[in-house]
């Protein structure tokens, strides 16, 4: 799993969400998950993808970063 993290300053949610959604629709890309976290002074958007190419393209388009989450959620026994 590849996670794209995009940070946005300010209180506005609608504009960055709409821009990300429009990009995804235009590219016909569907993330596995689309989450956001409100932080003091801004918002962090996290989108999960199965493939690295979609994740890298989104990160480039919105100044985000790709986090390789291959081991995310695994538990050692």
Domain CATH number, residue 13? 3.30.70.260
* 76 domain-assigned: no
* 19 domain-assigned: yes
Q: What pLDDT score does 70 carry?
A: 59
pLDDT at 22 over 80: yes
Q: What is the pTM of this model?
A: 0.83
* 24 domain-assigned: yes
* 9 domain-assigned: yes
Averaged pLDDT, 18-36: 96
- CA nearest to 6, candidates 35, 45, 32: 45
* 75 domain-assigned: no
Q: What pLDDT score does 73 carry?
A: 42
CB 54 within 8 A of CB 62: no
What percent of the chain has pLDDT above 70? 88
Rounded-to-integer distance, Cα 44 and Cα 16, Å: 10
Rounded-to-integer distance, Cα 46 and Cα 36, Å: 6
Range of 15's domain? 2-68
Rounded-to-integer distance, Cα 61 and Cα 74, Å: 30
**How many domains would you assign to the chain?**
1
* 29 domain-assigned: yes
* 46 domain-assigned: yes
């Amino acid at each position: 799993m590849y996670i794209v993290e995009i940070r946005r300053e300010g209180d506005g949610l609608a504009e960055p969400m709409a821009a990300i959604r429009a990009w995804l629709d235009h590219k016909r890309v569907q993330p596995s998950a689309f989450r956001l976290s409100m932080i003091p002074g801004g918002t962090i958007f996290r989108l999960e993808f199965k493939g690295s190419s979609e994740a890298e393209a989104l990160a480039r388009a919105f100044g985000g970063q790709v986090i390789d989450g291959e081991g995310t959620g695994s538990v050692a026994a």
